[in-house]
Structures are given as structure tokens and as C-alpha cells.
Structure 1
């Protein structure tokens, strides 16, 4: 499967442009909706940078590569982008894919600003080359666990599939809930049907079912089965990974997809820049932008600031090193608040510690409206 064409002849070496590589899931089995929103944010920010004069007079160019949620494909894309002379790599939504891209960028000495992936162990060892905007999974999922406790849920079932991301999330929930008497039972979706899930929920006397599975399969059939089971009318369905964020969820499930709390990384009120970007993203996407679109915009905003200050010649080793060296000196007003990077315990990359976190759901009375249930 070929990647979509890169903009403005991006396969040619052209010193006129200053290039940023972009890793985005644009085809399945990647989460295409997330990729589309991420790319919209990245592209809008590049447009704004260039309309403001570019980087020291040079226009910024985005060189897009489709990862299709394939770690090996992402690693190969990082190699290609390095050869093409990009100053840095940005993007990616899927954690397991971003982890492979980060490892390759670290090995090559290529700066990588990860937009959306949350897995704590983004790299196996501490690295100076990688920074991240999305909050670590341990922070976001602990906040989600606090929400569960506050809502009175202590018997939690998780429908899960094999993945380091899902396993890490389940571990965070279990460790955080245990001191408060909470228990977590895992339902292995390799062996269970949606009907089996309903039976297990009844047997376990669970008060909440969390979907640690892919969308649309098997998440959509599980939700439909639980919603139609008269024994489970009081159970809460949750999706901490954010599956209900995108319009495809509502299209697939309709009213069944409402009232399912999930994590998103937006503040209660956007910055003035964020409000302007929100309007532009709505025009570009023809729908409400997700938090992923704002992550994309903020990614380019940070890289543009770094390039202006430290790395306008970032196509070479010394310039790339200056970009990586600048992570701790970043101070950028993003769409969701001021962005700075620091070292956090247990996190191997430079991390934005101030990313806003909300637990929200789709309002059953107005499915297109999101309700804020909890913040952290």
C-alpha cells in the first residue's frame, strides 16, 4: 500500500524549504479518523507559519508518511525522512507505532516531537532526542481511575485485547484502584463473544465495563450487546482510550454510544490562539475538531519556535542536535496552554507536564455535545 502523495513535491531535495516529517495513520488498520484530525492540525499550523513569513524566510514544508498503525512501516518512514533531510519528525497517534518511531529517531539522532501517543515507556532508555506533548498514560488513566472511584465504581471489568498499550492501561487502573478496595477483572476478547462478556459481567457483579479494545471491532458489537441486555441496565460503559471522541463512534452506535466516559486532552477553555485555531479547524474538517487536531497544531507551533531559535539549519547533524538540545528551553503558548518540557519520574523523553486532562462523555440528550465529568 503506497503512502498518500506528499505535499509540494516533497520527495525532491529542495533547499528552499525547511522540512518536517509527519507520521500519521491515514489507512487501516490505523485509526483513520484520528489520523485525519492530526494531519489537519499539523497542516493548519504549517500554513500559519508560512503566512507569517516562514522560518527565517524559509517556508516550512510537511513531508507526510502514512504509518497505517504498523510499527515497522513507521521505522522505515523515519529512515526515509532522515535521508530526505527533514529537521525533525512529528506526529503519530498509536502508542506502539510511536514507540518504534521514537526508538529509530533516537538511534539516528533525529529530533522527534510526538504529538498524541501516551505510552509511558515511549523509549526503553532515556533519550535527549524525543519530546512529547500528550500526557503519559499513567497520569491520564489515574485520573480516569479517580473518576471511577468518585462515581462509586469499585468492581471494574475490562474487555481487552493483546497490546502493550492495553496491558499498561489495565495495570495503571489496577494499581490505582487497589488501595481503595477496587478490583479489576480482565475479559480476554480473543476467547469471548459480546454475549459472553454480558454473562461474565453479571457473574462478576461488575458496575463498570471499560473498553480496552479496538474500534470499530470489537468495541461496537460489545456496546450494542451490553446496551441490549436487560440484566445490565445499570452498568456503566467506559472507554478511557477515547474511542467516542470521533464522529465515527456516533455514526456507528447512535444513542447507544452516548454516556460512555472517555479521556480527552483539552482545557475547559482554549487559549485565544486555540479559539482561532478551533474556528479554522472546523472549516478544514467540516466537523468539530478533536483534541488530536489541537495536538497536531501545537506540535508544529513548538517545532517552528525551536527552528527559529536554534535549528534553521536542522537538516544536518549539528543543526538537529541543537534542536534536541533546545527541548528544556521551549516556552510556547499553545492552543491549550503554555508548553514547556521537563523530565518526569519514570518517563524517558522530554515531557510536557501541563497537558490538560478531562473525562467527558457524549450527552444522551444531545449526542453531538460533550459533557465534562471530571478534570485532573
Structure 2
């Protein structure tokens, strides 16, 4: 649990995994905890972050770094009307049950709102539970279109929906001449949804998708299946570092597959561990990220501050974390800590974020309040300098 409770104090950090047993809830507790000595009210924000495997740990660390920096800056600037924010962190470890248990715990702790989560299937479980509990939840990083089964005012999201980003990625493949695309896909609602978006978009221009079932294939066996498929591109719809790293190594070293494009729309190559594990073999693998060509002045300053922190050079996920707190702090200042009031505030948000102006609107087919105008890029690591990124397409 990361606790940031006072202006000018350094945060003290301990990590707690949520109990699998939901906390008992006997009514709606007051939002915020008063300090009897000072009269100050601490406003709690629950944070869902994958910090242990099988979660994407590096993504979780970047997300937390952004959340943490923003909370520190809010408190250093006087908090919310003089009251400090406290970030209550729970490790979801890519487990939907952990997220549900954490939401129950947050409700009992009296948090004003919930932030975070990187993994879409986990975020979906969290969003569903937040809706049932009446907890405002601003999803930082998960893109699955259907975060909830029904429309809700309690949940909003910063990144673009998967259907938008993956259509842009499919257009990139088509424009590069790829009409027959293989996907090495693990069983998951997120990967299934992504495959469907790719198949439908490719089909509009005569393209096809060949599915390679990673529940039945070892990484080395992917090469044989890929060679037989006659696909010119292979997309990694699997976890990282494994089996993604082993698949890349096998394909790169198979002479039959020379010239085959490897892609990773979910963003595995974004993180430093990818370069550390694969070196030059991990370059020239296009992926999606949510950054503009130029950060705002705020983004430049935040990026410099994040670079000095323990997570190192920031990914787009770190900026998502920072922007999440920027939005929640603005809403808390304008509308107070009443949960119902917060849930009604999304359409009135207008916040300067690290990547541009942040607003929310309703979009067809999306059940939550959706941030509008979020930038989308297709990028890869430069083979000549793998620690640098090349922008291949913007959307």
C-alpha cells in the first residue's frame, strides 16, 4: 500500500496483496478519513496495479509511477482544498478475482474513487464490481470495448477502445502489403476480441486471419505452423515475457520465415525488459502506444520527473497513470468527494493532461464514459538503435 498523506512528506510504501475474501460491508462508509489532531480529511483513492506475475509487472510499475507522482504533486500544491490525497494500492497480479476483492475492500475503506488497472480482463471485473458498488472508477490503461455489460455512469476510461486502436493497426498491416496475417493467440477474452477486430478490418480489403492456438502449440512449434500458413505477418497475442520472447527468438532464427513481419499490437515491445531480453531481435516489431508526436509542456515536465524515478524512462502507461490522478483531482476539487457527484461529473471534465486536453463523452457501443481524442501510434524499435522508437503510423 502506498500512502501519501501530507504536504512535503515523502511517501512511505509497502505492498499488500488483496485478500481473496471480500471485506464485509455494512453500509456506505463516509468518504475520507478525518485526523482528530489536525481536522484534516484524508481523501483515499484506490489503485489497481499488476505488480507480480502473471501480470505484466513492468507495465504495473510504470502505471504506479505515474499515479504516485501525480498524487505527490497534488499534495505538494496543497491537496484538495487543503486535504491530502492518499493512494491505496492493491496488486491485482492479472487476476480478476483479486480486483473484485480489492473493490470490496476499497468500498469498506471509504475511498472516494478507484484508479488504474492495465489488464483488460481484470479491468472488466473491476468495472463491473465498481458499478455494482456505486464506486467511481477511472480506468487508466485497459482498452477492452465492453468494460461493463450495461451502460454505467460510475466508470470512465482514458485509453481508446480496442476496436479503434486495433483497426488502426490492421490498416497499417494492409498498407504494408500484408493480406494474410497469422495470430499466435492465447485463450483470453481480450485476445479473442482483438482477433475479431483484426479479422473484420482485414476482410474489408480482402485480407484473412489465420489463428495459431497457443494453448496447443509450444513456441518452437509456431514456426512450423507459420510456415505452413503462408502468412506474411505473425502477431503476438500472448503474454510477456513468455511465451512472447521465445516465439520471437524461434521465428527470427528460422530461415524459412526470413522476411516475415512480427507484430505485437498489445504493446509488449514498449518496455525496457523487451530490449534487455531480445536485443536486436526485438526490434522492428510494430506495436500500439497512446502518445502524441509531441507531449504537452506538462507532459515534458512529467516525463523528466518520471525518468528520475525507480521505473526509469517512462512508457505511455506512466503518462496514463499521471493523467488519471490529474482528472480525479480536478473532479474532486470541483465536485467534492461524494461518490454520486463524482460519477455525474465525467461529461464536465476538461483537464490539461500530459498528452493533450482530456474530455469524456459517450461513444456508440461503449458502455462507459470514454476519453475522446486520445492519440494512437503504431511504432517499433529502431533496428539500428533498439532503445529508440520509430513512429510508423498515427491515428
What is the TM-score when the length of structure 2 is the normalising length? Answer: 0.91
The C-alpha deviation readout for 1:172-204, integer Å capped at 9, x for no partner, is: 000001010100000001111223211122212
The yes-or-no answer on 1:72 pairing with 2:97 is: yes
The yes-or-no answer on 1:236 pairing with 2:265 is: no
The C-alpha deviation readout for 1:37-77, integer Å capped at 9, x for no partner, is: 00000010001111111101101111111111110110110
The C-alpha deviation readout for 1:161-181, integer Å capped at 9, x for no partner, is: 100000000000000010101
Structure-to-structure mapping, 1:185-334, within 5 angstroms: 185-285=210-310, 287-311=312-336, 314=337, 319-334=338-353
Structure-to-structure mapping, 1:1-376, within 5 angstroms: 4=1, 6=3, 14-15=33-34, 16-285=41-310, 287-311=312-336, 314=337, 319-376=338-395
C-alpha distance in 1, partners of 2:204/2:386?
35
* Structure number with higher relative contact order (C-alpha < 8 Å, ≥ 6 residues apart): 1
Aligned length: 366
C-alpha distance in 1, partners of 2:242/2:176?
28
RMSD across aligned C-alpha pairs, in angstroms?
1.4
**Contact 1:277/1:335, CA 8 A, preserved across alignment:** yes
C-alpha distance in 2, partners of 1:162/1:226?
21
**Contact 1:37/1:285, CA 8 A, preserved across alignment:** no
Partner SS, residue 323 of structure 1: helix
Q: CA deviation at 1:5?
A: 6.1
Gaps in structure 1 of 5+ consecutive residues: none
C-alpha distance in 2, partners of 1:274/1:48?
14
**Contact 1:6/1:65, CA 8 A, preserved across alignment:** no
C-alpha distance in 2, partners of 1:363/1:35?
25
Instruction: Compare 282-291 and 266-275 and name the one that shifted more.
Output: 282-291
Gaps in structure 2 of 5+ consecutive residues: 6-11, 17-31, 35-40
Segments ≥4 residues shifted beyond 3 Å = 4-11
The C-alpha deviation readout for 1:274-321, integer Å capped at 9, x for no partner, is: 00000000001362100000000000000000000002xx2xxxx100
Q: CA deviation at 1:365?
A: 0.3
C-alpha distance in 2, partners of 1:140/1:192?
27
**Contact 1:7/1:64, CA 8 A, preserved across alignment:** no
Partner SS, residue 197 of structure 2: helix
**Contact 2:3/2:86, CA 8 A, preserved across alignment:** no
Q: CA deviation at 1:7?
A: 5.3
Partner SS, residue 17 of structure 1: strand
Q: CA deviation at 1:6?
A: 4.9
What is the TM-score when the length of structure 1 is the normalising length? Answer: 0.95
C-alpha distance in 2, partners of 1:119/1:352?
14
Partner SS, residue 356 of structure 1: coil
**Contact 2:62/2:318, CA 8 A, preserved across alignment:** yes
**Contact 1:243/1:249, CA 8 A, preserved across alignment:** yes
C-alpha distance in 2, partners of 1:158/1:360?
19
Instruction: Compare 301-310 and 56-65 and name the one that shifted more.
Output: 56-65
